[in-house]
Amino acid sequence: MIKEFICLTAMTICATIASGCHNDNGITSVSASEFNKEITAGTAQLLDVRTPQEYAEAHIDGAVNINVQSDNFGKEAEKELSKDLAILVYCRSGRRSMDAAETLAALGYKVVNLKGGIIEWQDEGLPIVAAEAPEHSAAQ
């Protein structure tokens, strides 16, 4: 009986891990490679929820920026994003994007969260749009 229980528990844990950490609340958290596949499929909207300054420094190409820390995040999201397509959401490390994902899911969006944020994205060598360094003129 104990062996069956342990086996069933192990199978449940493996199934949960294999499912991409899907929650019943409309949020799925995925790795950078899975997130990239979702972007490449072109059937979702890409949302960067970091500050405008962070977004300007580097972001994933095609991302819309709505700061999750702003007081009107939910209203801005509803104004900018369609509920007809899933939202691919990311931040720096995955914490703020999960907060945003919970807000978006409560508003009726289907959300895919990048677990490790843009840090994981860059660690995987995936492309970003980086701010151009200002040109320096040589002293004459």
Q: Which residues of 122-131 are buried (b: 16+ CB within 10 A; e: fewer)?
A: beeeeeeeee
Nearest to 58 by CA among 137, 134, 132: 132
Note the pTM of the prediction, 2 decimals: 0.78
Both tokens of 138, joined, read 């040589």
Looking at residue 8, its pLDDT comes to: 45
Distances (CA, A) of 123 to 31, 41, 75, 128: 11, 22, 33, 11
Mean per-residue pLDDT pooled into runs of 10, the chain (140 residues): 50 42 76 97 97 97 97 97 97 97 97 98 96 55
pLDDT of residue 15: 41
Catalytic residue among 7, 14, 21, 91: 91
Q: Would you call 33 exposed, middle or buried from its count of C-beta atoms within 10 A (0-12, 13-18, 19+)?
A: exposed
Residue 49, SS3 per DSSP: coil
63's CB contacts (< 8 A; 6+ apart) are 46, 47, 48, 55, 90
Task: For residue 125, give every residue at least 6 positions away whose Cβ sits within 8 Å of its Cβ, in sequence order, or none.
Answer: none
> Does 91 qualify as catalytic in the annotation?
yes
- Find the DSSP H helices in 1-134: 2-18, 32-41, 52-57, 73-80, 95-106, 117-123
